[in-house]
Amino acid sequence: MKEEDRKIEENDCIDSLEKEEDLQEVDTAEEVETNFDDLLNVVKEENQKLLDENNKIKNENEALKDRLARLNAEYDNFRKRTSKEKEGIYTDACEDVLKEMLPVLDNLERAISVEGSAEDIKKGIEITIKQFGSALEKLSVEEISNEGEFDPNFHNAVMHIEDDQYEKNQVVEVFQKGYKRGDKVLRYSMVKVAN
């Protein structure tokens, strides 16, 4: 009987092992299901975080687009306003200059219509030139000095002469007067220079 008992024991052991394996499989299946649920929850949470982050980035992007559009509109308005202001400044400057020059023109027209001697006409022209000089002075325009040495910043040398009577680079003769306003040269003096 020993053999029979042994067989029974073996069968019991085998049954017990099989049951244990079945239980382990059930435990493993439950663990897998639990792990799958946990993993699914983690993936859902990560997905939600990514969706929230994506929405946040979209909102920031829309805000930046709106800001850029407003900035472009402001710049366009600034450019248009500046252009109009420049035109206005130019018009005002021309108006100021012309207000000073028109009386000189009036006097020149009167001088043409006046009959008289050459001496009277010359005297009238001198008065008109003084009036013109006064108008330039009001506009802060001054004549460039032609005394002394040639200065390329203010003079335009159109002729050179060799003469021991003059120093080197000395302005000898002025063909056309130059004018400046502040530091800006309006017209260079046209001069003859000694070498």
pLDDT tens across 108-118, in order? 888 878 787 88
Cα of 186 vs its chain's centroid, Å: 28
SS3 149: strand
Can you read off the two tokens belonging to residue 162? 């060799």
23 vs 16: CA distance, rounded Å: 10
In the chain, where the domains are located: 144-195
pLDDT tens readout for residues 12-56: 666 666 666 555 554 565 666 777 888 888 999 999 999 999 999
Dihedral over alpha carbons 18, 22, 28, 34 (to 10 degrees): -160
Tens digit of each residue's pLDDT (9 = 90 or more) over 64-88:
999 999 999 999 999 999 999 999 9
Instruction: Provide the whole-model pTM.
Output: 0.54
CA 81 to chain centre: 15
Cβ contact 132:179 at 8 Å? no
Beta bridge partners of 160: 193
Determine the Cα–Cα distance for residues 159 and 175; give it in Å rounded to an integer.
Answer: 10
Dihedral of CA atoms 139, 143, 144, 145 in degrees, nearest 10, equals -140
Helices (runs of H) and strands (runs of E) counted in the chain = 2, 6
Q: Topology of domain 144-195, per CATH?
A: Nucleotide Exchange Factor Grpe; Chain A, domain 2 (2.30.22)
